[in-house]
Structure 1
Amino acid sequence: MAQKVVLSAFVLGRVWAQDAAFVVPQRADTISSFSPGSFVAPPVVQRQAESPSSRSFAWAPALTAGLLATLATRSRQSRRARGGEQVQRMTLEACDEWIGKLNLDAFGKEVHELGRRLKAEQGEEDQKHLRKMIFWSRLCAAVGLGTMWLGPNPLSVIALSLWTHSAWTMIGHHVCHGGYNRTAPSGRYSSRGFAIGSLGRRIVDWFDWMLPEAWSVEHNNLHHYRLGEDSDPDLLERNAETWKGNEKYTMPFVSMLLWKWAYYAPNTYKEMKVAELRRQGKPLPDGFDPQAPLTLSNLAAGKGKGIFSVWEFVRRVIGPYFLARFFLLPLPLALVNPAFFASAVVNLALADVLSNIHGFIVIVTNHAGSDLYRFQVGCKPKSPTFYLRAVTSSANFDTGSDLNDFMHGWLNYQIEHHCWPDLSMRAYQKGQPELRAICEKYGVPYVQENVFVRLKKTMDIAMGLTNMRRYPRELESEKDIMVWSEERARVAAA
């Protein structure tokens, strides 16, 4: 390596200091960069006639000038890359080489403009599409509720599970993001009042294990705007670090069965309570780690002390759902035949387990895998870096028809959803091919695979068999970087 540097320096110096005319090098930022096997020398500024006596010592200033030019060029190459520059870095791994070639600003501009156009095109057709999906969800409810008294059976279990799943992932999810605020701002399906404010609205609009207000803080604010960072509450690779020994191989499968009420409900409620304390300017309890996942078992062990109690969690979050879902809903059947009531409870319980599995498969897999990126610092919303992270830290599944997308809970458009969180389901269908084309144009990896392929990659991350990629900190666009302070955390949570 040293021989190559000296040789390049000598050749460059000879060109620059040709005929023994030593010229002081220009500033480093005016020197053209070179790659192995080729270089571009700066223009010769001046030539002077040489004498025969000076020719024998011409190599000295040439070599000196060449070394200075080479070192300056190498120093420039090693400087921190800025977003949008065409940067050549010889230390990048093969899977990261696209980063050095990316025109980040141009990429971000095209993604932003596509989102603006999709938003402007939303209208009555999006409302019709929403009503269609609501009808499908309610049809599942009718089938499940109408047959659950027949004894444990797959039809009731699947229908009830799809009802619960679609009410969350499609209706509650997109409405709470504001995906239909512009097409029906005063309607029922607006984020301004959907499922929040009272137990009645929660029951009527979206009734699940999670408290909608808590889910909105954890998901809409923290997860979406800190995607792939250590402060992302849904970062599986970090959350799975608490599993030790054989737990690494058993807990991922156990979590699939009960993750909504054992993990997601308490952890989303924790994020809401932490946000409330920050808004009030109150300190967090000593020893409390706000980034650590708070599971039901951790809560029972006292790790939520100073944030909320077990009784508060049961009374406000999971208690109402448990009572209404597994007792009040099938209670009328007990008046007809106690056996009908028992059958209904069994079907509802099995449907809940299936809904947990279904949700785990299409939700947790969105942001886990050895081909997705993690990040060390925060970034400004709607910046080019924000759009880049939405793409490179997310994975899509198979996309296409309404039926296919319904079965995926519309979470198969996760890349588009993270670029533009407040669009309708129909807008994601329209925008997906165009966003993929933009990514191909700029060389940005766009990950789209079958959901079960993603499940395998997710389990590998959870078990510690593989690792997610780390986006090089030195290649981040500094103008897009933002440090999450306590004040900004309060603003984001507001």
Structure 2
Amino acid sequence: MGDLGAADADYIRRVIAVQRGLEFGGRALLMVSLFPPAWLAGTGALAVAKILENMEIGHNVLHGQWDWMGDPEIHSTTWEWDAVSPAAGWKRSHNVVHHTYTNILGKDRDLGYSAIRVDPAQPWKPIHLFQPLYNLGLSLGFEYGIAIYDLELDKVAAGDKPWSQARAEIGGLWQKIRRQWIKDYVAFPLLSGPAAPTTLVANVVANVARNVWGHTVIFCGHFPAGAQTFTEDQLVDESPGGWYIRQVLGSANLDGPPLLHLMTGNLSHQIEHHLFPDMPSNRYAEIAPKVREVCARYGLPYTSGSLPRQYAGVLLTIARLALPGGGRRVAGGENAGWM
């Protein structure tokens, strides 16, 4: 981190410029989206722009990865991303809770997002019989699922969070949703004139494509075979080094070319991201071989695989755990000694 400098700053500014160029070009093409090739090209460009904004830009800026630049525009305290979930709520639930209590049952609410049973140690309920279906719904509307999840309504129901706080957060969420809807589903379609209906459909398709991609990448980060979960008892005596080991054991990477890493927001390097969440994402590929070598030296698993294989495994896990039982995935044996 000591050698961060102009090359890194140029990288994120270049990605932002490309993303904005794709969005501008996509929306310009949609002005004439009555012409099918223009609709296809415009929708594709807009979908890629939204993916880049959420994954490589928004997610990482909100982690504070680029705060060192001192740029008030590219800063975790000022960035508001192109999604319905307000940045403030996401930073609390993701940066603070998830990255602190990664894969700890009963602590990390990202384990199935309080809706999907992804570990056999999670209690089974009859509603889980339908989780393959509502996982599909979550995938299509992932930004809304994240936004509702960030409200922590389960804590409100349990009396652990005041309703007054939740009411204020719901108000903020509704304002953000309204802004997003006006932008994507009213303003830009109207600007397209006669092409308003096709532009509206294009915006819906682009948002759904972004949602499905984000769901796929994120679920591949902690739920594939090889990613381990932990109990609250293991947290009690966890050493500082044990925290790092838990990040390795609880995360999984995706193998692929540089374009895949860019489009996943470098969450294809999920292990490295969890070890160093505030490291600029363009550096993860550089340190990944070193992290893998350290894991091999000390006998720690380094879980990694192709996107199709990892996501297929996630879907199989969700289907299997829709039924009671399912075995155990909690870390134990030789790995427990590392904690």
TM-score (normalizing by structure 2): 0.84
Is the CA contact (8 Å cut-off) linking 2:151 and 2:170 kept in structure 1? no
Greater RCO between the two (CA within 8 Å, min separation 6)? 2
SS in structure 2 at match of 1:244: helix
Does 2:233 match 1:357? no
SS in structure 2 at match of 1:449: strand
Aligned twin of 1:287: 158
* Structure 1 residue 308: Cα displacement: 2.7
Q: Which moved more, 1:442-451 or 1:377-386?
A: 377-386
Does 2:240 match 1:383? yes
Is the CA contact (8 Å cut-off) linking 2:147 and 2:173 kept in structure 1? no
Aligned twin of 1:312: 171
Residue number among 304, 311, 315 corresponding to 1:455 in the alignment: 311
Task: Say if 1:341 and 1:311 are closer, same or farther in 2 by CA, change over 3 A.
Answer: same
| 1:259-311 Cα distance to aligned partner (Å, 9 max, x none) | 211x111111338xx9xxxxxxxxx6563577xxxxxxxxxxxxx89833896
Task: Say if 1:177 and 1:306 are closer, same or farther in 2 by CA, change over 3 A.
Answer: closer
SS in structure 1 at match of 2:320: coil
Letter in 1 for 2:224: G
Aligned twin of 2:330: 470
Is the CA contact (8 Å cut-off) linking 1:259 and 1:360 kept in structure 2? yes
Is the CA contact (8 Å cut-off) linking 1:399 and 1:413 kept in structure 2? no
* Structure 1 residue 421: Cα displacement: 0.5
Task: Say if 1:170 and 1:380 are closer, same or farther in 2 by CA, change over 3 A.
Answer: farther
Q: Structure 1: state its 5+ residue gaps.
A: 1-118, 196-201, 275-283, 291-303, 481-494
* Structure 1 residue 224: Cα displacement: 0.6
Residue correspondence of structure 1 range 168-183 to structure 2 within 5 A: 168-182=54-68
How far apart, in 2, do the equivalents of 1:357 and 1:144 lie?
A: 19
Does 2:111 match 1:251? no
* Structure 1 residue 233: Cα displacement: 1.7
Aligned twin of 1:405: 261
Task: Say if 1:427 and 1:318 are closer, same or farther in 2 by CA, change over 3 A.
Answer: same
Q: Which moved more, 1:164-173 or 1:307-316?
A: 307-316
Is the CA contact (8 Å cut-off) linking 1:379 and 1:386 kept in structure 2? no
SS in structure 2 at match of 1:397: strand
Is the CA contact (8 Å cut-off) linking 2:86 and 2:172 kept in structure 1? no
* Structure 1 residue 395: Cα displacement: 0.8
Does 2:324 match 1:324? no
Letter in 1 for 2:25: V
How far apart, in 2, do the equivalents of 1:444 and 1:474 lie?
A: 9
Task: Say if 1:332 and 1:409 are closer, same or farther in 2 by CA, change over 3 A.
Answer: same
Task: Say if 1:366 and 1:129 are closer, same or farther in 2 by CA, change over 3 A.
Answer: same
* Structure 1 residue 246: Cα displacement: 4.6
Aligned twin of 2:149: 267
* Structure 1 residue 404: Cα displacement: 2.9
Task: Say if 1:341 and 1:467 are closer, same or farther in 2 by CA, change over 3 A.
Answer: farther
Residue number among 105, 124, 129 corresponding to 2:6 in the alignment: 124
Q: Which moved more, 1:206-215 or 1:415-424?
A: 206-215
SS in structure 2 at match of 1:307: helix
Task: Say if 1:326 and 1:141 are closer, same or farther in 2 by CA, change over 3 A.
Answer: same
Is the CA contact (8 Å cut-off) linking 2:26 and 2:45 kept in structure 1? yes
Aligned twin of 2:120: none
Does 2:22 match 1:157? no
Does 2:303 match 1:417? no
How far apart, in 1, do the equivalents of 2:20 and 2:156 lie?
A: 44
How far apart, in 2, do the equivalents of 1:361 and 1:454 lie?
A: 9
Is the CA contact (8 Å cut-off) linking 1:371 and 1:468 kept in structure 2? no
Q: Structure 2: state its 5+ residue gaps.
A: 118-124
* Structure 1 residue 142: Cα displacement: 2.3
* Structure 1 residue 462: Cα displacement: 1.9
Name segments (4+ residues, structure 1) moved above 6 Å: 379-382
Aligned twin of 1:148: 30
Residue correspondence of structure 1 range 418-433 to structure 2 within 5 A: 418-433=274-289
- If you compute each CA radius of gyration, which structure gives the higher value, 1 or 2? 1
Task: Say if 1:382 and 1:433 are closer, same or farther in 2 by CA, change over 3 A.
Answer: farther
| 1:403-434 Cα distance to aligned partner (Å, 9 max, x none) | 23222232101100000010112211211111
Is the CA contact (8 Å cut-off) linking 2:151 and 2:166 kept in structure 1? no
Task: Say if 1:285 and 1:161 are closer, same or farther in 2 by CA, change over 3 A.
Answer: closer
Residue number among 442, 455, 476 corresponding to 2:298 in the alignment: 442
Structure that is richer in helix per residue: 2
Aligned twin of 1:240: 116
* Structure 1 residue 147: Cα displacement: 1.4
Letter in 1 for 2:115: N
Task: Say if 1:189 and 1:225 are closer, same or farther in 2 by CA, change over 3 A.
Answer: same
Is the CA contact (8 Å cut-off) linking 2:249 and 2:302 kept in structure 1? yes
Is the CA contact (8 Å cut-off) linking 2:253 and 2:303 kept in structure 1? yes
SS in structure 2 at match of 1:387: helix
Letter in 2 for 1:127: A
How far apart, in 2, do the equivalents of 1:380 and 1:418 lie?
A: 20
How far apart, in 1, do the equivalents of 2:282 and 2:85 lie?
A: 26
Is the CA contact (8 Å cut-off) linking 2:292 and 2:302 kept in structure 1? yes
Task: Say if 1:394 and 1:467 are closer, same or farther in 2 by CA, change over 3 A.
Answer: farther
TM-score (normalizing by structure 1): 0.59
| 1:345-367 Cα distance to aligned partner (Å, 9 max, x none) | 11001111111111111112210
